[in-house]
Amino acid sequence: MAKVKTNPNPILQRIFGFDSTKHSVWTEIGAGLTTFVTMAYVLAVNPSIMLEAGMDKSAVFTATAIAAALGTLFCALIAKLPFAQAPAMGAISFFTYTVCVSMGYSWQFALTGVFLEGILFIIFSVTGLREWIVNILPEGIRLGIGAGIGVFIAFLGLKNGQIVVASPATFVTVGDLIHGDGLLALIGLLLMSVLIIHKVRGALLIGVVVTTLIGIPMGITHLAYEWVSLPPSMMPIFFQFEWDKVFTIDMLIVVLTLLSMDLFDTLGTILSLTHKTGKISQKSFNRALLCDALATTTGACLGTSTVGTYVESSAGIQAGGRTGLTSFVTALLFLSALFVAPIFLSIPSAAIAPALILVGISMLGGMTSIFKSEDLTEIIPAVITTIMIPFTFSIANGIILGLISYCVVNILTSGFKKVSWQLLILTALISLRFVL
């Protein structure tokens, strides 16, 4: 009689969903390290941007690290998935440049908007409204979202590595690949590509470390002299809300815009990550959505903008991460960054950029499935979704424009056979974002 394989690590199974008959502890740890390294830039970028909103840069650094750690810990313990969270780049820009700089409101007002949006997000998650939204999304749009995010990530990598740069004549052009960051990023890209092709475990992490070391003699990597320091105080921004303007039109606009961005950025990101991870249960999917909502609300209390699931989690998944143990390791590293921030901030963008490019490339597989149907009413909206995500620099915009095109194309060609009333209502509601 054949022996039944049992899981000798019931504690890891219960806490993280780890099954030693399917998963490797060292692979999960390596994946957590890889995810952290590819998204550690947020620890430097977020404080710098929010400084322009008038916030204390050191306090924002601490809030960013703790918010990322807590959000990622939620993913580890509640969803048991290898997803990592941190303040979202799009929301950070909206927070600073739209609410504070353009509209002229205080950062306390903006934090209040983030908090209220997070509460609404939790309600959406608990009531199952987000699940309903996911289920009515057409398959072509779902595939287009994953491919679009892949192109978006690859473009971010090319931009951060200065392989492509801004051009007043053509918007973007090729950067300097003979000197500086462009050359280092290109070296890293070739190195990581070779490691991946040879199926080397932890290829992205190895590539980032080696590329960082190569950057030392090039004068790009600058190692810090002081490696350990106490975390800066978070008190200047902790629980700093402005309640007297809650019932205003501007607050309504801010909350609705943040909700729209958070909802569709999260849906798009989680859909693409679950595709990379493999089939997961509906329960885990719903919990992943709830983790995002909880992280946003917690982040607002700490003093940072909307926290969301990061597409860079794909780096850890690519490295073999499949359970909550991966995200647990990432969360611990975010906490450790509070004390050894100078080390992590020594990793140059040119060393991280190649990992983003390769992660983006790995997510383009959905494009093959999109064209298999040969149905233009599915292909056109899917491709619009794919190209508008990077071209508008927004996952949310890409999804909205893709849905609008899907409804219009299908109604004009075949009536309402493929367009449900639920999809029409959803598309109409989210399209208000462009009006507001």
Structure confidence by residue, pLDDT tens digits, 214-249: 999 999 988 767 777 788 889 999 999 999 989 888
Residue 81 covered by a domain: yes
- Burial (CB count <10 Å: 0-12, 13-18, 19+), residue 373: middle
Q: How far apart are CA 41 and CA 329, in angstroms?
A: 17
Q: How far is the C-alpha of 311 from the C-alpha of 267, rounded, in Å? A: 11
**Would 1 be classed as within a structural domain?**
no
Please check the confidence at residue 135 and state whether its pLDDT lies above 80: no
387 in any annotated domain: yes
Is 4 a member of any domain? Answer: no
Q: How far apart are CA 159 and CA 164, in angstroms?
A: 5
Residue 428 placed within a domain: yes
CA distance 310 to 144: 18
pLDDT of residue 229: 78
Q: Is residue 336 part of a domain?
A: yes
Helices (H) and strands (E) in the chain, counts: 20, 4
What's the pLDDT at 2? 47
Across 131-135, 373-377, 418-422, least confident range: 131-135
Supply the pTM of this predicted model. 0.74
The half-sphere exposure of 11 on its side-chain side, counting CA atoms within 13 A, is: 1
Task: Identify whether 365 is part of a domain.
Answer: no
User: Is the confidence at residue 164, as pLDDT, over 60?
Assistant: yes
Q: Is 2 a member of any domain?
A: no
Total structural domains within the chain: 1
Expressed as residue numbers, the domain containing 374 is 10-360+370-435
